[in-house]
Chains A and B, each alone.
Chain A
């Protein structure tokens, strides 16, 4: 089963944390830091799996964001790796070309999307059309021009246009040097 799902950026800012077992707040913070330390040092030639305490982390990088799922050691690695991608595709459709800022400004909606697709530590729904069909329409309240960071790296789309290549290998991502590290 899934123990937790984390979305973090390269600077270690958490964009989403969903816990499926009981941890106290200190423990959660520790886990977040450990996962960041474990995942960010790995490069594209490494596997997408890494042993973590008594569990394992299945992760995938999209632009500046790491999507990490912590599962039991005997769980199916590739199934969860593709579950991450399926989730990203749903987010991408939902937010019409999702970028990190969407996850910041609409954090409460991301939680609902997560709950549609994963519940109680298990995969709940895999159909993209069904996972997207939600009562609230996706908001476009991303303030674009108002936000100075809007055009920065956090405004970069995680998922390029449908026909383009996927930005999930480190080599294909160019990281600007003046990245803002706050929120």
Chain B
């Protein structure tokens, strides 16, 4: 089209915007006259003019004519004319155009033409526009084209993706039907392009209709297996820089992530595939080109995603972690970034958490040295994910020091993360208080209300830290310039607990008051309001400063303040201090009662900030608790203290604290212990329940049960003889569950030894929703059996009844004990009574990997004692089982025999039944 090329050149030669507009207007006038002219235009001219109009539109100018000519081109028999017509329609025609009927007609003709090129153009047009009208017209037709035996491969590719587009825009118009099973079999198609397109379609459909497409799992695995084992030339032009079909492999691995781990037979084959992919990563590259390594690693990262998704093969998880560890130091920034990102999810798996932690120094180094802020951001995310009690002080310190120079865009998020970690892993609450005050000092502007509310809640709820907090804020306030947030925290804490440091003449009541009041005039109105409340509290705490404070309240700048809130507070507080007797004052201004237990509002804030899909922490995503809107201490003591009733629990974040008292408030709790006579209505244990149960012996979080309707996830924490388990019931369907009743069942033998308390859940579970149930656990005495969780509900008119064993096992109440070799053997000898020892010799069921074994012993709950056993291949552990009535010391020794693929496990405890049960539980793990 020479005319088009000339026109484009002319436009390019225009020196100014005005000249360009002039040239375009000239052309538009020309085209309009041609279209309106008497002489009928031939196809070529029509194509040329429509194409010019399209070019003008793409330059950013409006086009208000030519649509009819474009539609005319659709019925041309020449490819080039038809193509321009369809392109114009795809780019310019919106769905509500009145031409849609004419367009649909032309598409219908082309679909029926049996000319693969024309069919392709028509399908691409539908896929580009994807409007509801088109879905109504073609949603019935396209599945037929897709599965018809005589359809050409390239048309099948287009039809599959065209159908995907219609399904995405109008799922109600694409009902599942006979065609679905034929679509699944496209995974076996000889043409890899067809498989590539079909896999995308199947993945999207399977997410919504898992049952309908479950046969795709085995087909996808065998297809994947054929690809990864093929030689680099087998797949011809689907091999990309010596990597066989990388994009298709990625898509197949993503499809498999729609499902739980497959049946054992298929699973073995899949594990082989994944191992092959991991092995290939270790082989020398077949090419030095970056395309080769990128394509290879694309598959590798997707394989790792699948391994993490399944979260069931410790061996693969640890290998994945090691591989990512290598990438952390790679010279390619892309790989370092992706490794940090991927490791974040690995950190939340119990199997690989320890392995991830070994990379802490590298990650901290990345935080300090990476040039790209997005890489540093990933490093922060990973540090957050790998944090636990053992490394929290180090990680929090590193994050704090990074905060001093961090990019402004990510400061607030880091502040939130530091605040959460400091709270979650605080053993020593003075450390927590110091950390938060440091946060305010370093990044006061980024400390949101949630953060400083939270520190106050915690100080109020923990009386062991109150004196320290008062002293620390008092010292921090001495700084000549301190952040307003510090004034708020300081004002509140001194108002509540200033009396605890008033004995020291350096922080006498008057000095405290003068210090706070010296900041008063520099602060904003809300902070001043808070300080006024502090002053009235001082009147109660320290009668000796009452006249000074009354003078301040009485001054014009308070009593006649232009701000209504400040004026009202000044008037009311002044009056209160004058008329109320000491007793009344003491009652009104009583110390704040502890705050009720609720989710940290900071966590909610972080979730909101990052959006539900990107928060990687398992815990964060699983805890869908209500957002705490009123979580902060409202600085109006007169009202709050009068109406609050003390809450029974002083624990805010709740889990695993020494003071955790997992008893629900009286009256609200429900003791769930259904006796055996009701067992007739309880379903037998679900198949596979035993395996799942065994997986939880060494870990606390994960998916306990999953079928097509329901997913049950667990998250639990134990401390001494107490524990708390969060059970998450996810409705995988789009339909409501009615009469949803989970019940906990303890047998007669178990019941006296294990106390479980929970509250009933809402009997209606919306489609796609997740509900949570908390179980408080108390181990009274050692026990053998496990409680059973029975769930009954109605789904679409059918009654569902599922039972699974709840993995509350004796070893959960383990506290690890570190000891030296000498101590260990001394105690070992003390437990030499034959009833105290139980030994089991058994065949290894899993690969005998040292690291995995270590992780399992630690997961089991005992300490792993290094350099105790004279034979370095052996593992020894020690710990104490805590029950309400007694504590039982336990020693264990595991001797692997690699040649025979056997283990010998010896348990010695002071109680025979405990030795027996622990030996059973642990033996099943190797």
Q: Which residues of A contact B (CB under 8 A)?
A: 14, 17, 29, 42, 45-51, 54, 73-74, 76-79, 81-83, 85-86, 104-105, 107-108, 111-112, 115, 119-130, 135-136, 141-143, 146-149, 166, 182-183
B240 with A126: CB separation less than 8 A: yes
Docked CA distance A90–B844 (Å): 52
Residues of B with C-beta under 8 A to A147: 9, 12
Residues of B with C-beta under 8 A to A47: 333-334, 337, 372, 374-375
- How distant is A102 from chain B, measured CB to nearest CB, in Å? 12
Residues of A with C-beta under 8 A to B90: 111
Docked CA distance A136–B81 (Å): 11
B302 with A49: CB separation less than 8 A: no
In the complex where A47-B334, A182-B12, A182-B14 touch, is A108 in contact with B5 (Cβ < 8 A)?
Answer: no
A45 with B80: CB separation less than 8 A: no
Q: Give 29 pairs: A residue, B residue, CB < 8 Å, sorted on A.
A: A45-B333, A45-B371, A76-B302, A77-B338, A78-B338, A81-B298, A81-B334, A104-B12, A105-B8, A107-B55, A108-B54, A111-B90, A112-B87, A115-B128, A119-B165, A119-B197, A120-B127, A120-B162, A120-B164, A120-B200, A122-B197, A123-B251, A124-B193, A125-B157, A127-B236, A129-B237, A130-B193, A130-B237, A141-B1
A148 with B13: CB separation less than 8 A: yes
- Indicate the member of A14, A78, A149 with the most B CB atoms within 10 Å: A78
In the complex where A82-B240, A141-B1 touch, is A122 in contact with B161 (Cβ < 8 A)?
Answer: yes
Residues of B with C-beta under 8 A to A107: 55, 58
Please tell me if B611 contacts chain A, counting CB pairs below 8 Å. yes
Please tell me if B520 contacts chain A, counting CB pairs below 8 Å. no
- Tell which of B13, B157, B291 touches A82, judged by Cβ atoms closer than 8 Å: B291
Docked CA distance A78–B157 (Å): 23
Please tell me if B500 contacts chain A, counting CB pairs below 8 Å. no
Please tell me if B682 contacts chain A, counting CB pairs below 8 Å. no
A82 with B298: CB separation less than 8 A: yes
Docked CA distance A143–B236 (Å): 36
- Tell which of A81, A127, A146 touches B238, judged by Cβ atoms closer than 8 Å: A127
In the complex where A76-B250, A82-B240 touch, is A120 in contact with B298 (Cβ < 8 A)?
Answer: no
A49 with B334: CB separation less than 8 A: yes
- Tell which of B9, B117, B614 touches A73, judged by Cβ atoms closer than 8 Å: B614
Docked CA distance A54–B614 (Å): 9
Give A86's nearest chain B residue, CB to CB.
Answer: B240
Q: Which residues of B contact A (CB under 8 A)?
A: 1-2, 4-6, 8-9, 11-15, 20, 51, 54-55, 58-60, 79-80, 83-84, 87, 90, 117, 124, 127-128, 130, 154, 157-158, 161-162, 164-165, 168, 192-193, 196-197, 200, 236-238, 240, 245-248, 250-251, 254, 290-291, 294-295, 297-298, 301-302, 333-334, 337-338, 371-372, 374-375, 611, 613-614
- Indicate the member of B12, B51, B58, B375 with the most A CB atoms within 10 Å: B12
- Indicate the member of A46, A86, A146, A149 with the most B CB atoms within 10 Å: A46
- Indicate the member of A112, A120, A183 with the most B CB atoms within 10 Å: A120
- How distant is A112 from chain B, measured CB to nearest CB, in Å? 6
Residues of B with C-beta under 8 A to A50: 374
Docked CA distance A104–B11 (Å): 11
Residues of A with C-beta under 8 A to B84: 108
Residues of A with C-beta under 8 A to B124: 115, 119
Give B19's nearest chain A residue, CB to CB.
Answer: A182
B193 with A141: CB separation less than 8 A: no
B193 with A125: CB separation less than 8 A: yes
- How distant is A56 from chain B, measured CB to nearest CB, in Å? 9
Residues of A with C-beta under 8 A to B51: 108
- How distant is A131 from chain B, measured CB to nearest CB, in Å? 9
Residues of B with C-beta under 8 A to A85: 291, 294
Residues of B with C-beta under 8 A to A121: 165
In the complex where A47-B372, A127-B193, A182-B14 touch, is A122 in contact with B164 (Cβ < 8 A)?
Answer: yes
- Tell which of A105, A127, A146, A182 touches B192, judged by Cβ atoms closer than 8 Å: A127
- How distant is A143 from chain B, measured CB to nearest CB, in Å? 5
In the complex where A79-B250, A107-B55 touch, is A126 in contact with B238 (Cβ < 8 A)?
Answer: yes
Docked CA distance A50–B13 (Å): 35
Docked CA distance A130–B54 (Å): 27
Residues of A with C-beta under 8 A to B298: 76-79, 81-82
Give B125's nearest chain A residue, CB to CB.
Answer: A115
Docked CA distance A107–B88 (Å): 12
Docked CA distance A124–B51 (Å): 26
Docked CA distance A107–B595 (Å): 65
